[in-house]
Structure 1
């Protein structure tokens, strides 16, 4: 596989940067990082393997996607075929769209695989996770949001050094004004990093019953996740805990599903796990087509029994 002459990276989430830079190092000859923050943030990007780091001072009242003209100016000035990698967060996708317009570049979101030959070919889930589609990109520059779990995150190495450059802020032609900030209420959990995940579904009759799953999760040292109906339908858990094609894509050692039917849109997010275990009273539940170990039984009897044995 050929390599891209230069790849630029940016992440609005510090914990996603190691994976994005790892992908850039695998795919590109040179890796440059955009950082909106402090010198410490720039040194962190360097320790992950970025050869050049452009540091932009945070601007008051400016949202991250408003840095698109600033980043695009640097990409255009390199005068080479180039790729830009960002996370598939709301800010990342908004930035990708704006940079695509600025650079006349192709944009693809939630990319799971990238191949470089005469052209760039990307793969991503389509039809709600029912299939994987491939797209060929022919524009000299492309902007891609990289799906979580696509690459093994790079480990920081303090011996790695980068050329540090001061970025110049280029104001967008139209810029919304930030008039206030409100702290987001929610969970700080990052299921992408969890080695063990216990996932609950609509097999639970009411929210209070999730305590059964919490007790088992504590016994096995697992983080608690959920299916989409639990998070978005019932509102029993935070959306950050939802596993599925439009939620978290797991790379866990163990994925333990309880009361989860196993629809394909959910299993797309769980199939990256090394071992899959499921408990369901429905012996014909789709999830049993994916498991390594399955228990057909009433979760209200199985979970207390397992928890007691494990403790």
Structure 2
């Protein structure tokens, strides 16, 4: 694949920015990060893969992420990178769309693969099909979700440059009046080697303790389907796997009480090994797994846990 000369990256989430920085080196000879943060943050982004960092300022006072758009617009107009990749967060998608509108182009949204001929692939129809798209714009703008480039590691020896740029105030009628710290999220599913995922096969929230015990025994992270996170609110959204959630490639994925709807499976179908436990032998998930157990998880799971404990 012939590399582009300049690829820029932006995300309002530092962990996603670091991941995209590392992955962007598969596409460009020089990776530049647009950073909302300070020098310490810039150093971490360089270790992740950035060759150059534009320090645009920090989120202080009444500033919001969107207020940095005029600064980004000026940088893009002055330097015209071949591609800008935005992290697929709520604000990342907003920024990408507004920048594209300003430049009279469109966004390559939810890209899952960048091909050698300059085209991109994205899932459509809830993950049931793959669409191939290409930008003819002078500056291509894309959004990429977490996990597309796979887990990345920091290179403590990497060297890069930083450059402070003037913040251009946004002409916005919306101001930030207050900031409240969100509860800390300690999970990073994209880096997990083993994952135990739970679905609606669990009748009560308290029953998830069985899945948590299994995960602890095998050194796995807990994940879930969308109804568990957004419908029942049993687990935080950061643990939701699917087309609009986390997409990753763990070595082992154990699905407990998950039917296997396409919207969920697109997030985990690249796993090296998939094991499913479901009492419905006609569940779609059994067509996509390496090993399947047809049985009531309330009977199978305690037995499995007991056997694992006995084997330790």
Distance of aligned partners of 1:184 and 1:45 in 2 relative to their CA distance in 1, 3 Å threshold: closer
For residues 200 and 157 of structure 2, the distance between their equivalents in structure 1, rounded to whole angstroms, comes to: 49
Q: CA deviation at 1:45?
A: 1.9
Does the 8 A contact of 1:64 with 1:91 survive in 2? yes
CA contact (8 A) 1:75 1:82 kept: no
What is the Cα deviation at residue 185 of structure 1? 4.0
- What RMSD over aligned residues (CA atoms) do the two structures have, in Å? 1.7
Q: Is the 8 Å Cα contact of residues 96 and 144 (structure 1) preserved in structure 2?
A: yes
TM-score, length of structure 1 as denominator length: 0.93
266, 289, 302: which is aligned to 1:291? 289
C-alpha contact (below 8 Å) 2:150/2:190 kept by paired residues:
no
TM-superposed deviation, 1:83:
0.9
Separation in structure 1 between the aligned mates of residue 30 and residue 40 of structure 2, nearest angstrom: 22
Q: TM-score when scaled to structure 2?
A: 0.93
C-alpha distance 48-240 of structure 1, shift in aligned 2 (>3 A)? closer
> Which residue pairs with 2:103 in the alignment?
103
CA gap of 1:28–1:105, structure 2 versus 1, over 3 A, is farther
Q: Does structure 1 residue 155 correspond to structure 2 residue 153?
A: yes
Cα displacement (A) at 1:65: 2.1
Number of residue pairs the alignment of both structures matches = 308
CA distance in 2, matches of 1:159, 1:220: 33
Structure 1 170/88 Cα, relative in aligned 2: closer, same or farther at 3 Å? same
Match of 2:25 in 1: 25
Structure 2: distance between partners of 1:154 and 1:97: 27
Is the alpha carbon distance of 1:231 and 1:186 closer, same or farther for their aligned partners in structure 2, counting shifts above 3 Å? farther
Contact 1:4 1:116 in 2 (8 A): no
Q: Deviations over 1:130-181 (max 9, x none)?
A: 1111112111112111122222444322332222211111112225110112
3-state SS of the aligned residue for 2:134?
A: strand
Distance in 2, matches of 1:294 and 1:261, equals: 12
Structure 2 residue aligned with 1:281: 279
1:211 to 209, 214, 219: 209
Match of 1:141 in 2: 139
Q: Is 1:169 aligned to 2:167, yes or no?
A: yes
Distance 1:183 1:300 in 2: 38
